[in-house]
Amino acid sequence: MGLADLHLHTIYSYDGTATVPAVLRRAKEIGLDVIAITDHDEIAGALEALKLASHYGVEVIPGIEITTAEGDLLALSITEKVPPGLSLIDTILRVRELGGYCIAPHPMAGGMGMKSLSAAAILKALKHPQAAETLLGIETYNATAIDRMSNHYARIFANGLKIAQTGSSDAHVVQAVGLGVTQFSGNNAADLLSALKKSKTRIHKQGEWSALRIIGSWLTNYPGSVVSRLAMNLR
């Protein structure tokens, strides 16, 4: 079974603390086959990861966590930015035009400034024929969500829809990479996409941090990331 973490942040996200090489190194160390870099409304980190991936032996799916008018959306397998603030359906259709696909991250989750899609917004998108062909999955395990009950509600919701379910870390610190993963038959991004289309994925919990550890780890790592950002901006 292949293992993928499809929701990862780097210092290209305003709240990310890990460099791209650090994320790739960590992914290789813990045995991930595929990862998706999904910085907030930014593609540069994903493009950097694509260039470096072969040196680390991990396949990278370039992506973005896009801020739509209704909440956050993971856009995967794209190499261009999609403007934030569009409606959910318009965003999905734009991702479709770019040859990518989408996953709804941490649906119905609240707290810590999370901008999550509601069940109603997801259902509306799935009633749109083209959007439904592009919105392939729902993240039903987010390892670092403060709102733990949202994972439970997401699983119930996805089970009723018979849509693919994904597990992800939503890592904002390198130590959290791989805490939640998606299992699929095969070992590469093409196999993963096939599994998503057939709703043949499984979630796997590699670990679960307390809210205190999630917040504490971010606070510990963030000061160092400021230095990394300054160095990045001086290149």
Q: Model confidence over 112-146: pLDDT tens digits?
A: 778 999 999 999 999 999 999 999 999 999 999 98
Instruction: State the Cα angle at 126 between 111 and 74, rounded to 5°.
Output: 45
- Contact (Cβ atoms closer than 8 angstroms) between residue 169 and residue 177: yes
- Residue 225 is predicted with a pLDDT of 84
How far, in Å, are 9, 41, 43, 63 from residue 91 at the CA level? 20, 12, 15, 13
Tokens linked to 143: 């390892």
How many C-beta atoms lie closer than 10 Å to residue 166's C-beta? Answer: 33
In this model, does residue 38 exceed pLDDT 70?
A: yes
Predicted confidence band of residue 218 (pLDDT cuts 50, 70, 90) = confident
The Cα–Cα gap between 130 and 59 comes to: 28
- Contact (Cβ atoms closer than 8 angstroms) between residue 12 and residue 65: no
DSSP 176: G
In this model, does residue 206 exceed pLDDT 90?
A: no
Mean pLDDT of 166-173: 97
Enumerate domains of the chain plus CATH numbers: 2-233 (3.20.20.140)
As a dihedral over the C-alpha atoms of residue 18, residue 19, residue 23, residue 26, rounded to 10 degrees, the angle is: -80
Q: What are phi and psi of 126, to 5 degrees?
A: -75, -15
- Contact (Cβ atoms closer than 8 angstroms) between residue 35 and residue 60: yes
Mean pLDDT of 55-84: 98
